[in-house]
Amino acid sequence: MAQGPHYRRSFPLILIALFLYFTLRRTSSSAPSSPPPPVDNHYPPVSAHRDNPTTADHGRLWLAFHEILRAAEPRCKSPKRIEDHPSAIGFKPDEVDHVTLPEHIIVETEDRGIMKKAHSRFTSLLSSRTAPKLRYTPGTRGIVSTAGGRYLPVLVTSLYMLRKTGSTLPVEIFVADKSEYDEYVCTVLLPSLNAKCVILADILDYSPLDEGLKKYQFKIFSLLFSSFEQVLFLDADSFPMHDPINLFNSEPFLSTGLVTWPDFWQVTYHPSFFHVSSQQIPTGFSHASTESGQLLVSKKSHAQMLLLSAYYNFYGPSHYYPLLSQGHPGEGDKETFIAPALILQLPFYAVSTGPAVFGYRKPDGEWEGGVILQANPIWDSRLPKGEVYGWGGKPSAPPESFMTCHANLPKLDPISVFGEKGLAWNAEGKPQRMWGPAHDMVDKVGFDIERRLWGELRTTACELEGKFVPWNDKPKLCETIGQFLKYMADK
């Protein structure tokens, strides 16, 4: 009885609220459609978007695209190498207007004509109304990488280093097939870090390949089949030193949709590439060759470029890798990103600041470079015209300029670093730094990146011991790395 009067007083208010609700709802539904929402800055778990493309969606894309690839096969001999490992040609930023392309392969006239016809057929099929379209979830961004099997700990370490920056970007890890899939890593560890495994074979089985993908071909197919609209690709052994979120929000990515980073060398396209692609040979190239351990791309604006890149990679080992690199350092997928952007006249931004390195001294005293540091494109794009850093004869880039760390030697798994012959130990078996004195790192990048890495290597070791099957016969290093950290606390 005590609640009766209160209920009667509230009833008119409820009727008014209902009237306003339905009135506003009807008004909203009849209003003109609003522009699409901005790219989401709040990152739900990588698998949480309800409209993520499915494996079947990507499988159907691959079925149609594989047919186009086969229809445009260059049925001719591979380019003939004059020498397997020609001398490297360093990039010279002051001589970009007049670049002489080397000729270290032979492309027969007949073969060049066959490749040109095949290339033209591919681009024609690609531009048809029935050509397959890339699938992705609009308004999303994330990081994509490839790994698998015994290399998963390298990826896990890089992922811990990413999260150490405060980044919450979702991550997709492409593994080749079920044999490269690890149950604990993929179903327990990675989801806890807002990352997930994608089995590439589940997609490619919609139109099976005779021989499977080769080493350098995994990158482009992971980009094609990722669910993100905007992608920062990172090799498994490459990680950001700072939260990369602003790369998506800022120039030069906003106006170009494609950002690449430089290697140490001049581009070495063979002149025949421009005949094959029906282009005039440029007199100069303002960009260096590409170091593709990191790549930033919009699948919305550069879908055609990615599909043409896939063509160059699909026929890369037989034709396009030698045509684009001619056996020069790093031949593989590295030149298959800017090249299709040039051919399709799509915008791109090639970072102008040269890469820096960390390294170490071998027991025989020889210096070995092990880590490539790349500049932040936001910082790079704001440089005054003509102001160049990081190349021979140019000043070193300042500490605040660097963004990514690509660690080639040693590989970033605890066994390679802290195992019996790991670089963390000197010839006498005592702890040592791998990449030089701490003060050099602070001077170069602003903080001691190696010390941060030790901690995340320990996290990887402690997390995977007893759970990661390929380590079942390997030494347990969690406690060893803990002792190493104590010893090196003030070094």
CATH number at residue 224: 3.90.550
Assess whether 288 and 394 both reside in one domain.
no
Is 221 inside a domain boundary?
Answer: yes
Last residue of a domain, one of 288, 315, 350: 350
Q: Does the pLDDT of residue 152 top 80, yes or no?
A: yes
pLDDT at 46 (0 to 100): 57
pLDDT of residue 45: 59
pLDDT of 38 higher than 50: no
Average pLDDT over residues 464-482: 96
Calpha distance 151→470 (Å, rounded)? 10
Indicate the range of 23-27, 89-93, 247-251, 275-279 predicted with least confidence.
Answer: 23-27
Residue 156: pLDDT above 80?
yes
Of the pLDDT bands very low, low, confident and very high (cuts 50, 70, 90), residue 150 is very high
Same domain membership, residue 474 and residue 372: yes
Per the structure, the count of domains in the chain is: 2
- The reported pLDDT for the residue numbered 206 is 98
By C-alpha distance, which of 464, 434, 466, 431 is closest to 452?
434
Per the structure block, which two tokens stand in for 471? 């380590």
> Mean pLDDT over residues 129-133, rounded?
93
pLDDT at 435 over 80: yes
d(CA 189, CA 400): 32
Residues 191 and 233 reside in one and the same domain: yes
Q: Are residues 280 and 363 in the same domain?
A: no
Percentage of residues of the chain with pLDDT beyond 70: 90
Does residue 276 belong to any structural domain of this protein?
yes
CA–CA separation, 434 and 457 (whole Å) = 13
* Residue whose C-alpha is closest to residue 269's, from 100, 94, 90: 100
372 and 344 together in one domain: no
Same domain, 226 and 153: yes
Residue 25 lies in a domain: no
Are residue 457 and residue 477 in the same domain, yes or no? yes
* CA–CA separation, 109 and 89 (whole Å): 26
Chain mean pLDDT for the chain: 91
Most confident of 45-59, 223-237, 398-412: 223-237
pLDDT at residue 32 above 80? no
Residues 244 and 188 grouped into a single domain: yes
- Asked if 165 and 240 sit in the same domain, the reply is yes
The residues, ordered by sequence, that sit 6+ positions from 283 with a Cβ below 8 Å of its Cβ are 97, 98, 99
Question: Which of 326, 350, 374 finishes a domain?
Answer: 350
Question: How open is the CA angle 86-87-91, to the nearest 5 degrees?
Answer: 120
Q: Are residues 273 and 373 in the same domain?
A: no
Q: Does residue 49 sit within a domain?
A: no
Which residue's structure tokens are 């392969």? 105
For residue 412, being part of any structural domain is answered with yes
Whole-number Å distance between alpha carbons of 126 and 123: 5
| pLDDT value, residue 446 | 97
pLDDT at 34: 34
Pick the more confident residue, 39 or 88. 88
Do 265 and 361 fall within a single domain?
no
Structural domain contains residue 66: no
Q: Do 259 and 380 lie in a common domain?
A: no
Out of 298, 322, 350, pick the residue that ends a domain.
Answer: 350
pLDDT at 214: 94
pLDDT exceeds 60 at position 418: yes
Containing structural domain, residue 136: 72-82+95-350
> In the 3-class helix/strand/coil scheme, how is the chain assigned residue by residue?
CCCHHHHHHHHHHHHHHHHHHHHHHHHHHHCCCCCCCCCCCCCCCCCCCCCCCCHHHHHHHHHHHHHHHHHCCCCCCCCEECCCCCCCCECCHHHCCCCCCCCCEECCHHHHHHHHHHHHHHHHHHCCCCCCCCCCEEEEEEEEEECCHHHHHHHHHHHHHHHHCCCCCCEEEEECCHHHCCHHHHHHHHHHCCEEEEEHHHHHCCCCCCCCCCHHHHHHHHHHHCCEEEEEEECCCEEECCCCHHHHHCCCHHHHCEEEEECCECCCCCCHHHHHCCCCCCCCCCCCCEEEEEEEEECCCCHHHHHHHHHHHHCHHHHHHHHHHCCCCCCCHHHCCHHHHHHHCCCCEECCCCCEEEEEECCCCCEEEEEEEEECHHHHHCCCCCCCCCCCCCCCCCHHHEEEEEECCCCCCHHHHHCCCCCCECCCCCECCCCCCHHHHHHHHCCCHHHHHHHHHHHHHHHHCCCCHHHCCCCCCHHHHHHHHHHCCCC
Residue 333 included in any domain: yes
Q: What local confidence, expressed as pLDDT, does residue 19 receive?
A: 41
Confirm whether 138 is domain-assigned: yes
- Write the pLDDT tens digit of every residue in 158-183: 999 999 999 999 999 999 999 999 99
